[in-house]
Structure 1
Amino acid sequence: MKDTFKHQGLRQQLVNVLKNKGITNEKVLQAIGKIPRHLFMDSSFLDHAYQDKAFPIAADQTISQPYTVAFQSELLQIEPGHKVLEIGTGSGYQTAVLCLLGARVFSIERQQELFKKTSRFLPKLGYRAKKLIFGDGYKGLPEEAPFDSIIVTAGAPFVPKPLLGQLKIGGRLVIPVGDEVQIMTLFIRKGQKEFEQHEFGEFRFVPLLEDKN
Structure 2
Amino acid sequence: MLLLALDTATPAVTVALHDGAQVLARADQVDARRHGELLLPSVDRVLREAERTLADVTHVVAGVGPGPYTGLRVGLATAEAFGAALGVPVHGLCTLDGIAWAAGLDTPFVVATDARRKEVYWAHYADARTRRSEPSVDRPADIADAVAGVPAAGAGARLYADTFTAVREDLPEHVSAAALAGLAAELLTADPGGGTGFLPTRPLYLRRPDAQVPKNYKVVTPR
Choose 1 or 2 for highest CA Rg: 2
Higher RCO, Cα 8 Å, sep 6+: 2
